[in-house]
Amino acid sequence: MTLLQVQRRMTQAIFQPLTAADRLNPKTDAGFIKPNARLSSRDRLEIYSRSYWFRILDALYDDFPGLRALLGERAFQRLARAYLAACPSQSFTLRNLGSRLEEWLRRNPAHTGNRREIALDMVRLEWAHIEAFDSDSLKVLGPEDLLELGPDFRVGLQPHIRLLAVHYRVDDLRIQVNTTLRRRHRDIAKRVCESKPEQTFLAIYRRNSMVYYRRIDDRESRLLGALRDESPIGEAIHRAFENSPATISERQSMLEIWFAAWAELGWLCPPARLEEERPLQ
């Protein structure tokens, strides 16, 4: 057997899900592993298999504390094992483990019970949190760069910013879960689940290596989305206020407040196409 063949058999064996008792699947072939004086071939392979599965389960556990609080520890553990068995890691980094969780939950609603909608909101928020934490950050445009905003002027949105529309205020739950003792998580989740659905628009962003959630107006969200698409300012504003009853004066006031806040937070950057066309120094 070549080294490549051994590596492939080892990978296939390790990726086999553990049993309910966290043991190596009895059908897993361990014959390619040499036993030693203390451990059989299966015992040696099981060490590696358990190490792998415990690590990826821990990673998913750490990445989705809000979902854990909503479903409870046992239900989350069942969900995590089923999800990772169906959607095994395909990346060199554990960061990407949860990238398919929302899609998988939509196909497997039984794992969220009667909390399906709020669970999906939470998964979207927590995945956006992960993306905001380690996505790129480009040169920041300050107030001095925004003095003359003609209708054809274009700006970009920082790559780490994520825009979400959710039905429940899962941002509150996620923040409280991070700042309270675990024994209180069930009560916090219950209060949020019992609240009436209310569409909420969020911007998830990074600043000074920390991820923050900011609630925004639906028109502000549409405008930010248009800027992210690198639409000209005039077109972006039209998209934001289309069918809005706000007067010209009210729109002007909102725009001044929004752009001032975005500049202060460092959300605006040059459009990506300009960055791509910039000559090398």
Which tens digits make up the pLDDT trace of 56-71? Answer: 999 999 999 999 999 9
Q: What is the pLDDT of residue 168?
A: 93
* Neighbouring C-alpha atoms within 13 Å toward the C-beta of 244: 19
Dihedral, CA atoms, 106, 112, 114, 118, nearest 10 degrees?
A: -70
Task: Tell me whether residue 4 is in a domain.
Answer: no
Q: Which domain holds residue 170?
A: 64-274
Query: If pLDDT is split at 50, 70 and 90, which confidence band does 280 have?
Result: very low
Which tens digits make up the pLDDT trace of 119-132? Answer: 999 999 999 999 99
Task: Tell me whether residue 249 is in a domain.
Answer: yes
Q: What is the pLDDT of residue 273?
A: 61
| Number of domains, the chain | 1
For the whole model, what pTM was predicted? 0.89
Higher pLDDT among residues 189 and 267, named by residue: 267
Rg (CA), the chain: 24
Evaluate whether 218 touches 226 at the Cβ level (below 8 Å). Answer: no
Inform me whether the pLDDT recorded for 279 exceeds 70.
no
Task: Tell me whether residue 57 is in a domain.
Answer: no
Structure tokens at 114: 């009667």
Of 162, 190, 163, nearest to 177 (Cα)? 190
Of 55, 274, 263, 279, nearest to 144 (Cα)? 263
Task: Tell me whether residue 2 is in a domain.
Answer: no
Inform me whether the pLDDT recorded for 271 exceeds 90.
no
Task: Tell me whether residue 5 is in a domain.
Answer: no
Task: Tell me whether residue 156 is in a domain.
Answer: yes
Task: Tell me whether residue 29 is in a domain.
Answer: no
How many residues are present in the chain? 281
